[in-house]
Structure 1
């Protein structure tokens, strides 16, 4: 079967996701972030989460070798922050832009939640590296989450109950 990659990307983009910024520290203790929508929970016992890192990412070397990372779940008014960390090049954080979680991973302000993890497994799958982390700490805030669907940001404000 021949894939029309552009059409396939549009099909995948039809699935609405949450938006996160994964953060970690480099060897010098400087914070870095990367916008990611491939985050999911894996297990409650033990508490595991994962995200997928593209092998063409400018941050591949840093994140593929990190021992810890934090999943910063964005609030619906933080689309500008998502765009900042979605671009090419190194996505550095200034020291006053974050606090540190238990593992030392950067926690960004104003998030809906933050999950601090220790990397426990890496799996190569196609053109991505799956980083599975065991939760070491977490923080839960308030507000609505930022969503991404077909190239546009949205919010989790519209809910219905069956």
Structure 2
């Protein structure tokens, strides 16, 4: 079910101010990976990741409408959400770059369905591409988790436009 509230009031801020306000919310950092029809891999950095449901196990993340990878990720049946560990800031930067081969120098194994799982990730979720919801200038992807694993290590955290260090208690 998709419901909408009555129209929002006229806002008193611009996109830059909104982005700066959002940066005050600390997030984990993920890399979404998938395999293209020709066997090549695609990966991108995403900090918009959340759990949705335990039964069935669902997660969500979002991607900008103008992303070059939108057609692939909309059409693929599966992808992997790799939750980066504190030592993997370089991976977040590499998969956010405009490099043509973002997997250069990256160690990975393959999931049961043949999608890349980044070595050293603090957790990973192999997802069936269950549904997509266009909202604003992004598409919200909901994945049904088919397989997942995790290790107890510090996550990579992004806050205020930079990576910050955290330590478990």
Deviation of the 1:121 alpha carbon? 0.8
1:36 aligns with 2:46: yes
Task: Determine if contact 1:75/1:145 at 8 Å carries over to the other structure.
Answer: yes
Q: Which residue in 2 is equivalent to 1:116?
A: 126
SS in 2 for 1:29: coil
The alignment covers a number of residue pairs equal to: 159
- Name 2:32's counterpart in structure 1: 22
Structure 1 gaps of 5+ residues are: none
| 8 Å contact kept, 2:94–2:102 | no
| Alignment of 1:82 onto 2:92 | yes
Against the structure 1 CA distance between its residues 29 and 95, is the aligned structure 2 distance closer, same or farther, given a 3 Å change threshold? farther
Structure 2 unaligned runs (5+)?
1-9
State the Cα deviation string for residues 78-128 of structure 1 (Å, max 9, x = none). Answer: 111100011235454259732111222210101101110101111111111
Q: Is residue 2:107 matched to residue 1:97?
A: yes
SS in 1 for 2:92: helix
Q: Which residue of 1 aligns with 2:67?
A: 57
Distance 1:103 1:49 in 2: 18
For the 8 Å contact 1:30–1:95, the answer to whether it is kept is: no
Question: Alignment partner of 2:51: what SS?
Answer: strand
Mark the CA change 1:128 to 1:121 in structure 2 (over 3 Å): closer, same or farther: same
- The answer (yes or no) to whether the contact 1:24–1:105 under 8 Å persists in 2 is yes
1:141 to 143, 151, 154: 151
User: Which residue number in structure 1 is paired with residue 5 of structure 2?
Assistant: none
Conserved in 1, the CA contact under 8 Å of 2:128 and 2:143? yes
Aligned-partner Cα distance in 1 for 2:17–2:106: 42
Deviation at 1:75, TM superposition (A): 0.6
Q: Distance in 2 between matches of 1:43 and 1:113?
A: 17
Q: CA RMSD in A?
A: 1.8
Determine which structure has more spread, i.e. the larger CA radius of gyration.
2
